[in-house]
Amino acid sequence: MAHRSAMPIVLIVEDDQLLRSMAVELVEDAGFEALEAANADQAIAILETRSDVALLFTDIHMPGSINGLKLAHAVRNRWPPIKIIIVSGQVQLSEKDMPPNSRFLRKPYFAETLISELVSMAE
């Protein structure tokens, strides 16, 4: 597929390879470009080299120096324009736990729900 920079770029951070691949496919089918990271450390490395990431889609529980929720707060502090979607099957976040301008989806999430969130946040 040819690189089209007009598509919003979504950074997907998920340690489970299968779930990450499924999320990439959903995001790309919805018309976005997907970047992948297996943990928060990889995600931060990508964000430090790319200024075109529009959305962060992260799981909470993963190995590495910080979890997905701490990653979301770090991204909000360092890259304020990036919109954030946080997902988890183990915890339920409230508004006060999350950084401003972010959304929470419970796993398992429906493809339609994820896509509609991405589209509304990318506008």
Q: Which residue has the tokens 């990439």?
A: 24
Q: What is the spatial distance between Cα 59 and Cα 87, in angstroms, rounded to a whole number?
A: 5
Q: Check residue 6 and give its pLDDT.
A: 72
Q: Check residue 60 and give its pLDDT.
A: 94
Q: Check residue 2 and give its pLDDT.
A: 44
pLDDT in tens, the chain (123 residues): 444 457 899 999 999 999 999 999 999 999 999 999 999 999 999 999 999 999 999 999 988 889 999 999 999 999 999 999 999 988 888 888 899 889 999 988 888 998 999 999 988
| Chain centroid, CA 120 distance in Å | 14
**pTM for this one?**
0.91
- The token pair at 59 is 């799981």
Q: In sequence order, what are the beta bridge partners of 34? A: 10
Helix or strand (DSSP H, E) at 104: strand 102-106
Q: Check residue 94 and give its pLDDT.
A: 84
Reduced to 3 states, what is the DSSP secondary structure of residue 108? coil
- Per the CB < 8 A criterion, the answer to whether 121 and 102 are in contact is no
- Per the CB < 8 A criterion, the answer to whether 27 and 12 are in contact is yes
Residue 70 Cα distances to 32, 85, 99, angstroms: 25, 13, 9
Nearest CA-CA partner of 61 in 27, 106, 34, 91: 91
Q: Check residue 3 and give its pLDDT.
A: 47
> Domains in the chain, start-ordered, CATH in brackets?
9-110+117-122 (3.40.50.2300)
